[in-house]
Amino acid sequence: MDLRKHAALIAGGLSAALMTIGLAHAATISISCGAVGKELEMCKTGAEAWAKKTGNQVKLVSTPDSTTERLALYQQLLAAGASDIDVFQIDVIWPGILANHFIDLSKAAGKAADEHFQPIIKNNTVGGKLVGMPWFTDAGVLYYRKDLLEKYGAKPPTTWEELTATAQKIQDGERKAGNDKMWGYVWQGRAYEGLTCDALEWVASYNGGTIVDPAGKVTINNPGAITALKTAAGWVNTITPKGVLNYGEEEARGVFQSGNSVFMRNWPYAWNLANSADSPIKGKVGVVALPKGGANGRNAATLGGWQLAVSKYSKNQAQAADLVMYLTSAAEQKRRAIEASYNPTIGSLYKDKDVLAAVPFFGSLYDTFVNAVPRPSTPTGTKYNQVSSEFWNATSAVLSGQTDAAAAVKSLDEKLSRMSRGGKW
């Protein structure tokens, strides 16, 4: 073997070694994704497209469906300073609670932050730090069965009273016709964050405020709130199955999508699933804004939505931030809107022809999404979870008939005032 051959071999070996170093530099980013409906699938395809583009790898961590349980899991991971998950999908009400554990994304975002709805960016900014990039927004909407409403000559309801009457009429008619599993209206009634969202919509639609006002004053004890809770309690066991007191989003969708309910309150994600190829109600579904509370009420939809944040315990913060920017970009949000009806957080996409063709109600309900009612997570800060828990428990007690609405809001008001130390929080 002559010297040249040796040199060539060594050079070959060296370049091979260099290549492996290059590959080792590519990071594996773990991202936590929700698994409600098509969420996990969409997250996977999006994250994998980024991985392919940048030469990194992604690992998906699926989390519990209930947002209450998801927060509990995150808190345990983050309080322990675990680096297992780099990118967290966080709820719109969490930036205040979890801000400590996330890095500032404003540099990575640059001008991209200006494209998004500004109220959400403001919501995600804690102490000058942009802790999460908006991924998709959410607002409660009313799903209805077009075919059934037509059959009974009814119009989509504009007030809760109309909804009650229409639901009752169709439920009675369909049951007489032989479908004894038919119900009028399903929603989220389990004692968890989802009930807070639903109940806030009822209360706000009767001009009953948002539990705690932006200045921190407890406002729940008012006639509007009492009427709202009374109305909702009247549905249970008449147009709504009693089991709704243990339903989350997916349980409600289970009943509606099997064709056993006239109306459903849910988030926009259910649109795509209700119209999927294997859905028994494909093409028979309409979406309108949630009804007003009486003639003088207003349309109210609770603001939901999810953000992407990067853990400060992550070992690959730069790549993780890059993944966040990719997933929250206009192109990816457009894909998610078309394929799975997730609401973009970028205003211009609501005028996009392809998006509107896939999800027509994004156009007609634009105002609902932009003017959605925020939960009082800003004024109550880290106490928000306790406020929400007290609220859903009080509501749950009214719905199950254990207390009447007036007594429930009075004792809730006292509890929250004590908790807030007179509105100071």
Partner 1 sequence: MAVHSTDTTGAARSASVTRSEKSELTRSRVGSAWLFLAPMLILLALVAGWPLVRTIWFGFTDANLADLSNWKFVGLDNYIAHYEGKWSGLLVDPEWWRAVWNTVWFAAVSVALETIFGMVIALVLNASFPGRGLVRTAVLIPWAVPTIVSAKMWSWMLNDQFGIVNDALMKIGLIAHPLAWTANPDLSMISVIMVDVWKTTPFMALLILAGLQMLPSDCYEAARVDGINPVKVFFKVTLPLVRPAVMVAVIFRALDALRIFDLIYVLTSNSKDTMSMSVYARQQLVDFQEVGYGSAASTLLFITVGLCIILYMVAGRVQLEKE
Q: Give SS3 for 151.
A: helix
In Å, how far are 78, 166, 193, 360 from 388, measured between CA atoms? 22, 31, 7, 33
Q: Is 422 exposed, middle or buried (0-12, 13-18, 19+ CB in 10 A)?
A: exposed
Residues contacting residue 181 through CB under 8 Å, at least 6 positions apart: 260
Tell me which of 245, 330, 370, 406 binds partner 1, using CB under 8 A. Answer: 245
Nearer to partner 1, 9 or 79 (CB): 79
How far, in Å, CA of 342 to CA of 104, rounded? 25
Interface map 299-338 toward partner 1 (x if CB under 8 A): ----------------------------------------
Contact status: 72 vs partner 1 (CB under 8 A): yes
How far, in Å, CA of 165 to CA of 146, rounded? 16
Minimum CB separation of residue 72 from partner 1 in Å reads: 4
Minimum CB separation of residue 326 from partner 1 in Å reads: 29
Contacting partner 1 within 89-128 (CB under 8 A): 97-98, 100
The CB density around residue 178, as the number of other CB atoms within 10 Å, is 7
Nearer to partner 1, 28 or 100 (CB): 100
Element (H, E) at 41: helix 39-54
Tell me which of 255, 290, 325, 340 binds partner 1, using CB under 8 A. Answer: 255
For residue 71, which amino acid is it?
L
Torsion angle, CA of 301/303/305/308, rounded to 10 degrees? Answer: 170
Minimum CB separation of residue 240 from partner 1 in Å reads: 11
Q: Give SS3 for 62.
A: strand
Please give the span between the terminal C-alpha atoms of the chain, in angstroms, as a whole number: 82
Contact status: 347 vs partner 1 (CB under 8 A): no
How far, in Å, CA of 300 to CA of 205, rounded? 5
Minimum CB separation of residue 30 from partner 1 in Å reads: 21
Nearer to partner 1, 4 or 424 (CB): 424
Stretch that binds partner 1, among 63-71, 169-177, 265-273, 301-309 (CB under 8 A): 63-71
For residue 381, which amino acid is it?
G
In Å, how far are 163, 264, 293 from 229, measured between CA atoms? 15, 18, 11
The CB density around residue 329, as the number of other CB atoms within 10 Å, is 17
How far, in Å, CA of 88 to CA of 74, rounded? 8
For residue 90, give the DSSP letter: E
Nearer to partner 1, 216 or 243 (CB): 243
Binding residues for partner 1, total number by CB under 8 A: 37
Residues contacting residue 361 through CB under 8 Å, at least 6 positions apart: 141, 268, 271, 287, 288
Contacting partner 1 within 204-223 (CB under 8 A): none
Contacting partner 1 within 185-204 (CB under 8 A): 189-192
Stretch that binds partner 1, among 39-47, 245-253, 277-285, 365-373 (CB under 8 A): 245-253
Nearer to partner 1, 56 or 403 (CB): 403
* Strand partners of residue 61: 32
Minimum CB separation of residue 317 from partner 1 in Å reads: 20
Contact status: 259 vs partner 1 (CB under 8 A): no
Contacting partner 1 within 169-188 (CB under 8 A): 181
Nearer to partner 1, 136 or 256 (CB): 256
Q: Give one DSSP letter per residue of 398-412, joined into a string.
A: HHTTSS-HHHHHHHH
CB hemisphere CA count around 22 (13 angstroms): 8
* Strand partners of residue 287: 143
Minimum CB separation of residue 307 from partner 1 in Å reads: 18
Contact status: 386 vs partner 1 (CB under 8 A): yes
Contact status: 62 vs partner 1 (CB under 8 A): no
Stretch that binds partner 1, among 21-29, 216-224, 346-354, 381-389 (CB under 8 A): 381-389
Where are the alpha helices (H) located in 91-240, listed in sequence order?
95-98, 106-109, 112-115, 118-124, 146-151, 160-176, 193-205, 223-235
Tell me which of 28, 118, 258, 364 binds partner 1, using CB under 8 A. Answer: 258
Stretch that binds partner 1, among 45-53, 71-79, 302-310, 356-364 (CB under 8 A): 71-79
Binding stretches for partner 1 (CB under 8 A):
66, 68, 71-72, 75-76, 79, 97-98, 100, 181, 189-192, 241-247, 251, 254-255, 258, 260, 382, 385-386, 389, 393, 396-397, 400, 402, 418
